[in-house]
A = this chain, B = another copy of it.
């Protein structure tokens, strides 16, 4: 039989409450008694209050849940996501809090079940499509939620840390049009719910379901519209997932078609690196024959000389943690928009003469 608080209390002939205080509120008893209690506990092999019981009674969990729409393992494949998580972890550490990574890749019922089972004090949501079934499960829990992405359209007061996605790609788009590019392809994941890499026709980009993809494409749309390139003239290719391979395959669809686009704009660096791979495979020179832009400025982007939009991923993670664990009193400070910056490197250059 595992020892409990009661076991220790009985061994010393004192009250259970006092033993509890020895662990949780050292100021409530004399140091001598506390030391005696801890010593006795050690001898009995009692390892401290049962976390589940403590959590039930106190209402605190000592962990925050991190919910990802994709397979949980995705969290570890994208350097941007890794960087974000690192920031979040840094804050969590400050507050002696654990990070519970929650997989929600399954169907609705299973996803909700996992969310409902999580012993946490709050949720950080991240890369969730607007319609994801786990979202309503998360809301139903009634715990604090911080979006690491966007203002909650249903609840404008909800906390979030984000960037102005559309403004970022607007600037990048202007860079490209300024270089004379007019024949342009856009590559993104989650344009369509299906996981297929293929050209798609998007009637109205405002209606795209996944926030990040939608906003970034809208920024590019607006930049191109400024120079008279209408949305229907822009080729869009869906990538099955956010991976280098999918990016390369998607780029293939754009490149192996005449006339070839002079610029390919991807919504993430991972996809853009795939585009560079596709160029290389075809003997095309980035920034000369075809210009390429990514998003995130992951470390590999600099090494590959990829023009991209930098966003402060680590800071985003840190602030997300702060909003969750120690939110500022002023509600206005609970909504944070971080700056982005266009990083021009060798992968963009003047549009080639045709």
Interface size on A, residues (CB 8 A): 52
B93–A71 touching, CB < 8 Å: yes
Q: How far is the CB of A120 from chain B (nearest CB, A)?
A: 8
Interface 9-residue window, one of A52-60, A229-237, A283-291? A52-60
**Inter-subunit contact A103/B98 (CB<8 Å):** yes
Interface centre among A53, A63, A83, A90 (most CB of B within 10 A): A63
Which of B99, B103, B142 is A100 in contact with, Cβ under 8 Å? B99
- Please indicate the chain B residues that have their CB under 8 angstroms from the CB of A102 in the complex: 98
Q: How far is the CB of A279 from chain B (nearest CB, A)?
A: 18
The complex places the Cα of A222 from the Cα of B55 at a distance, in Å, of: 51
**Of the candidates B49, B73, B93, B114, which one forms a contact with A96 in the assembled complex, judged by CB atoms under 8 Å apart?**
B114
State whether the Cβ of A11 lies closer than 8 Å to any Cβ in chain B.
no
A101 contact set on B, CB distance < 8 A: 89, 98-101
**A117-B51 in contact (CB<8A):** yes
Task: Contact check, A98 vs B118: say whether CB atoms are below 8 A apart.
Answer: yes
For A87, the chain B residues whose CB sits under 8 A away are 73
A45 touches B103 (CB 8 A): no
Q: Roughly how many angstroms separate A65 CA and B101 CA in the complex, as a whole number? A: 10
Of chain B, the residue at the smallest CB distance from A50 is B56
**Please, which residue of chain B has its CB at the minimum distance from the CB of A95?**
B103
Binds B, one of A74-82, A186-194, A323-331: A74-82
Instruction: Provide the bound-state CA to CA distance between A41 and B215, in Å.
Output: 36
Q: Does A209 contact B (CB under 8 A)?
A: no
Closest to A85 in B: B76
Tell me if A61 counts as interface (CB < 8 A to partner B): yes
A residues 27-74 with Cβ under 8 Å of B?
A: 45, 47-56, 61-63, 65, 71-73
Measured between C-beta atoms, what is the minimum distance from A73 to chain B in Å? 4
| Cβ–Cβ contact B140 & A47, under 8 A | yes
- Measured in the bound complex, the distance between the Cα atoms of B71 and A84 in whole Å is 15
A321 to chain B, nearest CB (A): 11
Contact A63 B93 (CB under 8 A): no
> B76 touching A89 by the CB < 8 A rule?
yes
Rounded to whole angstroms, the CA-CA distance of A209 and B113 in the bound complex is: 43
Q: Are A119 and B73 in contact (CB under 8 A)?
A: no
In the bound complex, CA of A142 to CA of B45 (Å): 10
Cα distance, A41 to B203, chains bound together (Å): 40
Q: Is the CB of A96 within 8 A of B116?
A: no
- Whether A5 sits at the interface, judged by CB under 8 Å, is no
Closest-CB distance, A219 to chain B (whole angstroms): 29
Query: What residues of B have a CB within 8 angstroms of the CB of A77 in the complex?
Result: 82, 86
Inter-chain contact A93/B73, CB cutoff 8 Å: yes
- Taking CB atoms, residues of chain B closer than 8 Å to A76 are 76, 82-83, 85-86, 89
Asked if B119 and A63 make an inter-chain contact with CB atoms under 8 angstroms apart, the answer reads yes
Q: Within 8 Å of chain B (Cβ to Cβ): is A282?
A: no
Are B93 and A47 in contact, CB atoms less than 8 angstroms apart?
no
Residues of A within 8 A of B (CB): 2, 45, 47-56, 61-63, 65, 71-73, 75-77, 82-83, 85-87, 89-90, 92-93, 96, 98-103, 105-106, 110, 112-114, 116-119, 137, 140-142
List of 3 A-B pairs having minimum Cβ-Cβ separation, nearest first: A47-B140, A48-B116, A52-B55
User: 6 A-B pairs, CB-CB below 8 angstroms?
Assistant: A47-B116, A51-B118, A52-B119, A76-B89, A96-B117, A99-B100
